[in-house]
A and B are shown apart, each in its own frame.
Chain A
Amino acid sequence: MVRRIEIALREGLRDARGERIKREIQHFLHLPVDSVRTIDVYTVDAELSEEEFVKTASEPFCDPVIQVWSIDRPLAAGFDFLVEVGYRPGVTDNIGRTGREAIEYITGRPLKAGEGVFTSVQYLLSGNLSRTDVELIARNLLGNALIQRFAVLDQAEFAANGGVSAYVPRVQSQSEIQVREIDLEVSDEELMRISKDGVLALTLDEMKIIQAHYRDQQVREARQKLGLGAVPTDVELECLAQTWSEHCKHKIFAGTVHYEDDKGNRQEIKSLFKSFIQRTTKDVREKLGNKDFCLSVFKDNAGVIKFNEDWSLVFKVETHNSPSALDPYGGALTGIVGVNRDPFGTGKGAKLIFNTDVFCFADPFYDKPLPSRLLHPRRIYEGVVEGVEHGGNKSGIPTVNGSLVFDERFAGKPLVFCGTAGIMPATLNGEPGHEKSIKPGDLIVMTGGRIGKDGIHGATFSSEELNENSPVTAVQIGDPITQKRMFDFLIRARDKGLYRFITDNGAGGLSSSVGEMAGECGGCHMDLAKAPLKYPGLDPWEILISEAQERMSLAVPPESIDEFMAMAKRFNVEATILGEFTDSGYFHMVYGDRTVAWLPMEFMHEGLPPMQLPAKWAPPRYEEPVLPAKEDYTADLKQLLGALNICSKESVVRRYDHEVQGGSVVKPFTGVANDGPSDAAVVRPILDSFEGVVVAHGICPRYSDIDTYHMTANAIDEALRNYVAVGGSLDLVAGLDNFCWCDPVKSEKTPDGEYKMAQLVRANHALYDVCLAYNLPLISGKDSMKNDFYDGATKISIPPTILFSVIGKIEDARKSVTMDVKRPGDIVYLLGTTGNEMGGSEYLALRGGIGNIVPKVNPEKALKRYRALHMAITGGLIASCHDLSDGGLAVALAETAFAGGYGIAADLGRVLWGDADPLRNDAVLLFSESASRHLVTVRPENRDAFETAMAGNCFSAIGTVTEEAAVAITGLSGKTVVNAGIEELKEAWQSPLREL
């Protein structure tokens, strides 16, 4: 029986959701809408008694204080147009899932197979609108046609029809489960067609390697015994495509690069990953000797370092760019709940303690035409921010650190970096918490959500550029509550030692998780018919590669399985035994009693020869901007404070719970009015201890326009200087790199591949050089290499971007320092030297220039200074400390002053100059972004102790904190070059994104 339950707000009550939609219609679409009201609709497809329907509608679905309910009687009235937005078949409907459970509690019996609850929302629009207007509103604002369907009715149609007809978005299942065989004995063109049409993202060479495998006589004979033909099944081909995808295999980082620099020097690099990233960690750990704190690097879902004798820290940052481009909300929500599973699935499992987010978008106020298929940057901004808000807040994990970065090229693909840290016992049931193993005979168990057609081809699709034909199945919606229930259960199972191995189901689904787990013991045997499905009708290959969310794969020893399954049932978590791990050497998939895939483990994991990648570096040359000297730079400073990359992101940050779990020490905002921008976060994960975790990051894609070596060096330095600014220890700090690149493989579509590849090589050079100098081991990371949009006519490539995150420790969180000036009379010091390094700066960007002289990092000098600063901080000598980054000294002075509520008087003549004298001028001193600098304030009575602590380093007293609430900067001529009240500076900084 299908019935519609409608829930509307009582007369006269404010409809906050409707008001928000109204504002957005006016703002985005400039359409004349007078009012928007909303109604929630639950389409219930279940055999319930009348009494049960009434109870359902009136109790869990309706809040009697503010709402009214009806069954099969439309509540809508007094509108011009009605739009009802519901999900398409098979799309995750979290509210529907909760509604279903609510009914089951009421009736005391489970809903039957095929029964369900499906939600939709009615928008009642009034105003002088045409049907075309309303369809535009529906498509562009109220929903996303990829995952949602719309019904649009005007009042007459509504009346004639007696309301909106009940519609159940049931997945139409195909009649027969199929396993196809794919003949690869075809022409090269045909091979490529198979790859392209199937979204396999396999190259011709890779297709030929697979072709050759199936030509092998021994393979054919062995297959025959299992009833398999001489050609691959779709299950096998899909499995290989996932396993060998750029997303899973990191072929570019594993390939052989032939690099030539601008002087003609040649270098052959066998695997950038091994040669630079892994080697960085290896060499740093050797340098650290017995002070090495790394526990598990690169081999697991996340990196693990020591926190103290009893606890270990786990950290991972991921990207979810391509799905977020198609469906910003779902893509970003899946991104955050997806990265949660990485630390959770590391070692034997970790409790999650915080999230970090960094988003790169195009200007949300972008007003030029966009290529088809690209969503407007503002929609991406809104959707991503909301998706991560829901994923993080609902999971109960504080979001403590992040950034928003803007560049027009991110219109081609937004970057959505989500990071999660966890904490695990150093020892669990007598074994190190970060280690795990599998024994043949252990059972393959999947827990959490069910499998549907969602997320099919996610791994392969994100290994290609975004284009007209990007598959809609790659879009998914996360379900934080199902995941949280699973985590609640698994952490208890972990403590009881009920499983031996855990990993997450991410890209590639079971093919990837079980494929990798099978590598631990040498094989597996799994029955895909046993997998729990959201709806019937999935073919075996779909079951194997679906990326449906909220699932973990485990190896459970047979002796623990009964207790494990009983506990899962009690926690209301679905757990299914799918097969067992073996040492057969084969990845063996059956469907019932039929073998559907039989692949040698060695071929799956080692069968791919390295890519050959040419790289040629030719430094770009830009026109060197000429900056006319000015008498007064106050207006320039205000303009910079309002630049998207510098201005306050408070409207976004306040939407993220940054305090849940009760360990917050340095929050995202600080200062006299709780609105100054903190440099880094400090949290206490163990509430009865004052040991703190410090997390920070650096990101500066603009410098890539000049040289990715220095972009990378500056990103690392920015992360570390932010970390040091709040008090992070230099003896226990690790790095994590996320590369987001545009396609660097030379091809017809990418004629400048050699240059982009050279940019990648240079970034790796810097990563090694700077991390080694800073003693920063890299503990984990990720690369996303195809961040381009191409529709055959327009190509948009993102600027090569590295997000460098650092995580470490502060021994006593009570020694943390914040960035706001504390009281008048304190002395203002600038640590580090300033040079003529305006290339890639925000100041030049505002003038439409790039320049050529990019800031360069001297890590040896900087590290010595950072160590001295750390001693001064832990010695209690520092009142405030703020890093200098985008916008240089002038921006840092303004931020630190208005955060603290006092003024600063500073003299540019006292800034240490580290460059040729003729280049020294007010503009450069104010706005150059030279690396490794901090602005600190010190109480006068601590002056001598501070200067003694800093002796031997570059630093200079450049001014004082003043009672007068203005930033007054004296130029080289002795005249004032900046003079503005802190309130007007703060307003310039706060206003641009305040309303978003």
Chain B
Amino acid sequence: MSKTRAIVITGNGTNCEVEAAHACRLGGFDDAVIAHISDLLSGDIRLDDFHFINLTGGFLDGDDLGSAKAQANRLRYAKVDDLEEHLIDQFSRFINAGKLILGVCNGFQLMVKMGLLPAIGGSYLKQTATLTFNDCGRFQDRWVYLKVDPASPSVYTGDVEQGIYLPMRHGEGKLVVDSPATLAAIEDKHLAVFRYSDAAYSAPTMEFPLNPNGSVNAIAALCDETGRLMGMMPHPEAFVHRTHHPRWTREELPEEGDGLVLFKNAAEYVRKNLL
């Protein structure tokens, strides 16, 4: 592959595929393919042919068994036609090949429920965290300040100085972990890439609505120890141009939105390491 190639997986209730692909292109990917899950299950499109998987926001299967649960089950058990493998095998191969996965919102929920995050010690496919109902008990669409952990291994955030401002749009975004040990590992290894904070990015907060869901330690995003797999509840693809900002008519803002940096860094990483 001489081109940087991103794939956005869609179908069964994903919603943000168009803007995610748009963000990949703006971020510098040569190709950004929107692939329906049926294209993957039929074997017409294979994950092996891409460098960057986007698991986007939406309501996979209507959140019916809990957000993303049904899709996690589908990916685990669904067979790819004509190939003697399950879709999950393609995911494992993709991760082992050193490639990138970004899960946003429903995609983040899918990643934790598949066990792709935080995957402490590289134990992928073992679930140790979950995302559950917001403490306020409601779906919320509002903008949040995300303080970055500059020490995190995330390959997406290298040049983010203090934090970024993005919209969150979810009803199940409260991070819960299975044990104090998991939380300690997340903290020790700096896997909590972003935390909900005040507008000055000075400190994480548990206060509603700055922290809209009551996430443990105000965590809004997680990465694995390689930094190549990341999931986050807020939507970076929804702020790639200044007109996305809720106050663009009253503030002097750069042309590019805060979320674009994640896609730029992903493209840069692929160019440097995977071509």
Contact = CB atoms under 8 A, between A and B. Distances in A.
Interface of A: 13-14, 16-17, 19-20, 59-61, 63-66, 94-95, 97-99, 101-102, 105-106, 108, 389, 393-396, 479-481, 484-485, 488, 492, 570-572, 653-667, 669-672, 674, 684, 687-688, 690, 813-814, 816-818, 820, 822, 900
B19 A661 contact: yes
B64 A99 contact: yes
9 contacts: A60-B65, A95-B65, A102-B70, A102-B74, A106-B73, A662-B23, A669-B246, A671-B247, A690-B243
Contacts of A818: 249-250
Contacts of A571: 11, 36, 38
Interface string B88-105: 000000000000000000
A674 B244 CA distance: 13
A660 B65 contact: no
B265 interface: no
A660 B57 contact: yes
B243 A814 contact: yes
Nearest to A103: B73
Nearest to A823: B250
Nearest to B58: A396
Nearest to B17: A396
B130 A65 contact: yes
A20 B137 CA distance: 7
A21 to B, nearest CB: 10
B59 A481 contact: yes
Contact of B62 (A65, A94, A662): A94
Given A488-B36, A570-B42, A98 B62 contact: yes
Interface in B118-132: 127-130, 132
B116 to A, nearest CB: 14
B139 interface: yes
B77 A106 contact: yes
A17 B171 CA distance: 12
A394 B137 contact: no
B138 interface: yes
Given A95-B62, A393-B59, A660-B169, 16 more contacts: A16-B135, A59-B76, A60-B70, A95-B65, A101-B70, A102-B70, A105-B74, A396-B58, A479-B62, A657-B139, A659-B238, A662-B22, A662-B244, A665-B243, A818-B250, A820-B250
B226 interface: no
Instruction: Give the interface centre of A396, A658, A664 by most chain B CB atoms within 10 Å.
Output: A396
Given A63-B130, A65-B176, A99-B65, A670 B15 contact: no
Contact of A394 (B16, B62, B238, B250): B62
A17 B243 CA distance: 36
B162 interface: no
Contacts of B36: 488, 492, 571
A121 B46 CA distance: 40
A492 B34 CA distance: 13
A229 B55 CA distance: 60
Interface in B213-267: 235, 237-238, 240, 243-244, 246-247, 249-250
B73 A105 contact: yes
Given A660-B169, A674-B246, A393 B18 contact: no
B61 A98 contact: yes
Interface in B21-61: 22-23, 36, 38, 42, 57-59, 61
A858 to B, nearest CB: 30
A816 B250 CA distance: 11
Contact of A63 (B16, B23, B113, B167): B113
A639 B237 CA distance: 41
A802 B216 CA distance: 48
A671 B248 CA distance: 9
Nearest to B77: A105
B130 A672 contact: no
Nearest to A9: B132
Contacts of B66: 63
B132 A687 contact: no
Instruction: Give the interface centre of B36, B65, B139, B235 by most chain A CB atoms within 10 Å.
Output: B65
Contact of B238 (A17, A662, A670): A662
B77 A108 contact: yes
B269 to A, nearest CB: 23
B176 A662 contact: no
B13 interface: yes
B71 to A, nearest CB: 10
A687 B64 CA distance: 31
B177 A65 contact: yes
A813 B169 contact: no
Nearest to A663: B19
B178 interface: yes
A65 B176 CA distance: 8
Given A488-B10, A662-B19, A674-B143, A64 B59 contact: no
Given A66-B130, A98-B61, A687-B22, A662 B249 contact: no
B72 interface: yes
Contacts of B38: 570-572
A17 B132 CA distance: 11
A102 B72 CA distance: 10
Contact of A656 (B58, B65, B141): B141
Nearest to A492: B36
B133 A816 contact: no
A488 B113 CA distance: 25
Contacts of B14: 396
Contacts of B237: 662
Contacts of B63: 394
B130 A61 contact: no
B139 A393 contact: yes
Instruction: Give the interface centre of A65, A671, A688 by most chain B CB atoms within 10 Å.
Output: A65
A726 B156 CA distance: 36
A663 B176 CA distance: 32
B69 A60 contact: yes
B78 interface: yes
Contacts of B244: 659, 662, 664-665
B18 to A, nearest CB: 6
